[in-house]
Chain A
Amino acid sequence: MKFDWKKIVTGATTAILGASVAASVLLPAQEALAQEETLIISAAGHYDYVIENIEEFEAEHGVTVEVWDTDMFEVLDGLALDGPAGTGADVVIAPYDRIGSLGMQGLIQPVTLNEEAGYNETDMQQVTMDGQIYGAPTVIETLVMFYNTELLDEAPTTFEELEAIGQDERFAFEGEEGRNVGFLTNWVDFYMTYGLLAGYGGYVFGEDGTNTEDIGLNNEGAIEAIEYATNWYQNTWPQGMLDVTSAQDFINQSFMDGSTAAVITGPWSANDFNNSGVPYAAAKIPTLPNGEEYQPFGGGKAWAISAFTEKTELAQEFLNWATSEEQQTVMYERLGEIPANQVAREAAAQSDSELTAAVIEVYENAIPMPNIPQMAEVWVGAESLMFDAASGTKSAEESANDAVELITQTIQQNY
């Protein structure tokens, strides 16, 4: 028995070579997806509104839309992997502050804005990165004040009034001697602190949030603001207010229990407040002790299109539809979130909702959040900016300088 093994092996190998596709493994997955005209939308937080109204869009374009209710940040964090894997959504909802870096990382693609939405400079700036627009603004958000209408006759308009509430025996905290929960806000969270810092003259990056060399979180104003907040922590508020992980829950609970008269927090808390039955109203954030306005980050959400979608045009159609005046009004009525569309926003401001009026009013003073990727380091570095001072481990000045030094160094070393 003699086989010519060599021949057989080479023959087999060549045959296999001819038959094999040396292309990437990814191809089949993507092709399979492209065949179905299904648009996948990750609509965390807006799920109810989208699912109720999407039929109109489906009928108009003759497609099916699959809507996800997955947590927004989970979808965005997973985009770098889900996208190329072909398992991601085509359209995602993203907060303004993530739009820039997502665009830079090539995870979302430039979009065209709906002409009729009438976005102004501030709106545009929020979703622009290196001159490219990466998202269609749909919701604006900023902090407001909520106050308990049974405990207070009218909304406090200055911080002096809030200080007086903080001395009021009615709001003494049971668990801790000499502590008071009359007014609460979560200043250990940098997002919440910023309005106070900016009111005193602090800022993140110079030149409209683009110059990373110029960090203004330890200038004179910022230090004064930190000292002011520290005073609240050390002389008025309970110890647990320093606990970054649970302070916000504590604040909301205390307000819903009727132990707290006023809180500064985001409009997203309104939903919980409604469910709890606490009698409340919303108002503009009071004027700071130095006579300046509170200037929180202006934020919001925008629809963005995944860079990996096969259905860019359809996705763009969805963006136009979702940011149209009509749909923005429907969204406002359904979710109570303030439309970014200027026409719908005007209309909402005229409605009799105090909350809407308050958000729109505060938004006038709001400062767009820097959307360059370096902002990520600010969140990390400023995490303990307030904590270190308020807990008494460092002076306000030290704490601010250390935080800025940390942010500066990290940016230098990583970018």
Chain B
Amino acid sequence: MEVKKESIRNENLAAALSIIPGVGQLYNRQVIKGIFFLLVAILFVYELNVFGIQAIQDLISLGVTPMEDHSLFMMIRGTLQVLVTVIFLFFYAYNIYDAKKVASHWNTGIHVNKTFSELFNNVYKNGFPYLLIVPAYLAMIFAIIFPVLVTVFMAFMDYSIMNMPPAKLLNWVGLQNFLNIFTLSTFRDAFTSVFSWTIIWTLCATTLQIVLGVFTAVIANQPFIKGKRIFGVVFLLPWAVPAFITIMSFSNMFNDSIGAMNTQVIPFLNNFIPFVDIGRIAWKTDPYWTKVAIIMIQGWLGFPYIYVMTTSILQAIPADLYEAAKIDGAGAIRRFRDITMPTVLAVAAPVFITQYTGNFNNFTMIYLFNDGGPGSAGGGAGQTDILISWIFKLTTNNSPQYSLAAALTIIVSFIVIGVSLIVFKRTNAFNMEDE
């Protein structure tokens, strides 16, 4: 086989020509592709003229005339434009890369498709995975990246009750909001107390649901049990019923004076179990008991998922492992410690971690049970507010502090992402390598 070495197409020239998208492709005699690329570029230039340039300028200036310019809208339009521009830049880079590659194909004698059907076949053959993921990417860019970007921008503005568009203009204020969280006494104290409770809540609630889930799975998997199916259905109920319904019901049941917990459950326990006499408990008027209640409820809500997972892992452990351990004289506890636990952990560790991060941001539970109450921790936060529900209050209460809330969000995110990354690296979760 002889490879032609004569230069038919100049690769660098092709790339340079593609500075205007599509021209390099035309130079490579790929007319359809060239025209298509050019159309995309023209479309983008048109979009810039109609909307984009103005949007980016507005994002930088955030408006000049109050009541006429609405800074918030400008910021959001600008954010959308940033995303569109980034998508275009990706396309632009690809177009230059493609021009260069095709030119080199000419030179090395690889067949270059020129007609429409050839192009189509080529896209189908080599571009198939891209066709599959484009819808997912587009949806993720606008539903995930966009709000995150807006939050980041907001954290560097002065958007609050005292500075509300359209009457006022927003300004870029750099790190002021982050400084405020740590220097303004009202926020600093609130941050400390809310943050420490968030950590306690995350650790206690998640650990409870994991322990309860694993324990139930181990107990319920013993071979002699009758009625496994019934129990299986019952144990899944808390997962099957939408959480907001059960939380609202619990919120009502835990009412100090008329809730079922104090009027039915506790008297029943007192009558049923000898020597126990529990008084009425201030479930919703004493922060300590509110915390106890939400941790218990989260255990109730969250254990079925862990139970299902653990059950299926347990069923995959070969029975002769246990038999062998039995013959060696290992007791039940020993068997659990040396066989069951390591296996479960090896498989389910990443899921456990997502449970922890999930509870760290478990807004629904806190908000619906007692709206972060009772009592106040300062800075607009209640005694049982976690960071995420505090952020929500800061954006929705009578004196919203949007920018502070955004800055808090960024701080919270750093913590969650940092911890998750470390753990994922450690446990090899979400690893895209193929074994």
A positions within 8 Å CB-CB of B: 3, 5-6, 9, 12-13, 16-17, 20-22, 25-26, 77, 80-81, 83-84, 101, 104-107, 173, 175-176, 238-246, 250, 253, 307, 373, 376-377, 379-381, 383-384, 387-388, 391, 393, 406, 409-410, 413-415
Q: How far is the CB of A215 from chain B (nearest CB, A)?
A: 15
Contact in complex: B256, A80 (CB < 8 Å)? no
Q: How far is the CB of A256 from chain B (nearest CB, A)?
A: 13
Closest to A17 in B: B49
Complex-state Cα separation, A98 to B194, whole angstroms: 29
Residues of A close to B252: CB separation below 8 A: 246
Closest to A6 in B: B20
Residues of B close to A16: CB separation below 8 A: 42, 45-46, 49-50
Contact in complex: B54, A384 (CB < 8 Å)? no
Complex-state Cα separation, A16 to B162, whole angstroms: 41
Closest to A393 in B: B375
Is B100 part of the binding interface, using a Cβ–Cβ cutoff of 8 Å? no
Is B246 part of the binding interface, using a Cβ–Cβ cutoff of 8 Å? no
Given A373-B161, A406-B378, A414-B160, A26:B73 Cβ within 8 A:
yes
B 254-291 binary contact with A (CB < 8 Å = 1; else 0): 01111100110000000000000000101011100000
Contact in complex: B282, A239 (CB < 8 Å)? yes
| Partner-contacting stretch, out of B118-126, B322-330, B339-347, B393-401 | B393-401
Residues of A close to B294: CB separation below 8 A: none
Contact in complex: B49, A413 (CB < 8 Å)? no
Interface size on B, residues (CB 8 A): 57
The A-B contact count (CB < 8 A) is 148
Complex-state Cα separation, A299 to B312, whole angstroms: 61
Contact in complex: A84, B73 (CB < 8 Å)? yes
Complex-state Cα separation, A380 to B165, whole angstroms: 23
Closest to A1 in B: B26
Is B213 part of the binding interface, using a Cβ–Cβ cutoff of 8 Å? no
Contact in complex: A387, B375 (CB < 8 Å)? yes
Q: List 15 A-B contacts (CB under 8 A).
A: A3-B26, A16-B45, A26-B73, A101-B161, A106-B66, A238-B256, A241-B257, A242-B256, A245-B251, A250-B255, A373-B399, A376-B399, A387-B374, A413-B180, A413-B184
Chain B residues 141-168 with CB under 8 Å of chain A are 160-162, 164-168
* Residue in B46, B282, B399 whose beta carbon sits within 8 Å of that of A20 in the complex: B46
Is B196 part of the binding interface, using a Cβ–Cβ cutoff of 8 Å? no
Residues of A close to B50: CB separation below 8 A: 16, 20-22
Residues of B close to A238: CB separation below 8 A: 256-257
Contact in complex: A246, B255 (CB < 8 Å)? yes
* Residue in B280, B375, B399 whose beta carbon sits within 8 Å of that of A377 in the complex: B399
Most buried by B among A5, A239, A406, A409: A239
Q: What 5 A-B pairs come out closest when comparing CB atoms?
A: A240-B257, A106-B167, A376-B399, A242-B285, A376-B398
Is B186 part of the binding interface, using a Cβ–Cβ cutoff of 8 Å? yes
Complex-state Cα separation, A242 to B287, whole angstroms: 12
Q: A80-B165, A175-B280, A406-B378 are in contact. List 11 more A-B contacts (CB 8 A).
A: A12-B45, A22-B50, A77-B396, A243-B256, A245-B284, A245-B373, A253-B258, A380-B399, A387-B285, A391-B285, A409-B184
Most buried by A among B26, B66, B165, B166: B166
Complex-state Cα separation, A125 to B162, whole angstroms: 22
Complex-state Cα separation, A26 to B398, whole angstroms: 28
Contact in complex: B161, A243 (CB < 8 Å)? no
Given A176-B257, A243-B285, A25:B51 Cβ within 8 A:
yes
Complex-state Cα separation, A238 to B396, whole angstroms: 31
Is B317 part of the binding interface, using a Cβ–Cβ cutoff of 8 Å? no
Residues of B close to A415: CB separation below 8 A: 162
Residues of B close to A240: CB separation below 8 A: 255-259, 284-285
Complex-state Cα separation, A307 to B67, whole angstroms: 9
Residues of B close to A377: CB separation below 8 A: 399
Residues of B close to A387: CB separation below 8 A: 285, 374-375
Residues of A close to B46: CB separation below 8 A: 16, 20
Q: How far is the CB of B92 from chain A (nearest CB, A)?
A: 15
Complex-state Cα separation, A243 to B384, whole angstroms: 14
Closest to B46 in A: A16
Given A384-B375, A387-B375, A413:B186 Cβ within 8 A:
yes
Q: How far is the CB of B263 from chain A (nearest CB, A)?
A: 6
Chain B residues 9-58 with CB under 8 Å of chain A are 20, 23, 26, 42, 45-46, 49-51, 54
Most buried by B among A17, A243, A246, A381: A243
Q: How far is the CB of B283 from chain A (nearest CB, A)?
A: 9
Complex-state Cα separation, A312 to B214, whole angstroms: 65
Is B371 part of the binding interface, using a Cβ–Cβ cutoff of 8 Å? yes
Closest to B381 in A: A380
Contact in complex: A176, B284 (CB < 8 Å)? no
Complex-state Cα separation, A6 to B20, whole angstroms: 9
Is B77 part of the binding interface, using a Cβ–Cβ cutoff of 8 Å? yes
Q: How far is the CB of B16 from chain A (nearest CB, A)?
A: 13
Contact in complex: B401, A414 (CB < 8 Å)? yes
Residues of A close to B7: CB separation below 8 A: none
Is B304 part of the binding interface, using a Cβ–Cβ cutoff of 8 Å? no
B 53-91 binary contact with A (CB < 8 Å = 1; else 0): 010000000000011001011000100000000000000
Given A391-B286, A414-B161, A242:B49 Cβ within 8 A:
no
* Residue in A5, A6, A242 whose beta carbon sits within 8 Å of that of B374 in the complex: A242
Is B428 part of the binding interface, using a Cβ–Cβ cutoff of 8 Å? no
Contact in complex: A105, B42 (CB < 8 Å)? no
Residues of A close to B166: CB separation below 8 A: 80, 83-84, 106-107, 307
Closest to B251 in A: A245
Is B409 part of the binding interface, using a Cβ–Cβ cutoff of 8 Å? no
Complex-state Cα separation, A80 to B395, whole angstroms: 13
Complex-state Cα separation, A231 to B379, whole angstroms: 28
Complex-state Cα separation, A243 to B162, whole angstroms: 31
Q: How far is the CB of A29 from chain B (nearest CB, A)?
A: 12
Residues of A close to B364: CB separation below 8 A: none
Contact in complex: B399, A414 (CB < 8 Å)? yes
Q: How far is the CB of A226 from chain B (nearest CB, A)?
A: 15
Complex-state Cα separation, A148 to B371, whole angstroms: 33
Complex-state Cα separation, A240 to B256, whole angstroms: 4
Closest to B375 in A: A384
Is B380 part of the binding interface, using a Cβ–Cβ cutoff of 8 Å? yes
Contact in complex: A22, B54 (CB < 8 Å)? yes
Residues of A close to B397: CB separation below 8 A: 376, 380
Contact in complex: B185, A409 (CB < 8 Å)? yes
Contact in complex: B398, A380 (CB < 8 Å)? yes
Residues of B close to A5: CB separation below 8 A: 20, 23
Complex-state Cα separation, A5 to B26, whole angstroms: 11
Contact in complex: A383, B376 (CB < 8 Å)? yes
Residues of A close to B77: CB separation below 8 A: 25
Contact in complex: A391, B73 (CB < 8 Å)? no
Residues of A close to B251: CB separation below 8 A: 245
Is B202 part of the binding interface, using a Cβ–Cβ cutoff of 8 Å? no
Complex-state Cα separation, A104 to B46, whole angstroms: 40
Complex-state Cα separation, A405 to B246, whole angstroms: 38
Is B370 part of the binding interface, using a Cβ–Cβ cutoff of 8 Å? yes
Complex-state Cα separation, A384 to B96, whole angstroms: 64
Contact in complex: A388, B375 (CB < 8 Å)? yes
Complex-state Cα separation, A5 to B16, whole angstroms: 14
Contact in complex: B262, A104 (CB < 8 Å)? no
Residues of A close to B160: CB separation below 8 A: 414
Contact in complex: A410, B280 (CB < 8 Å)? no
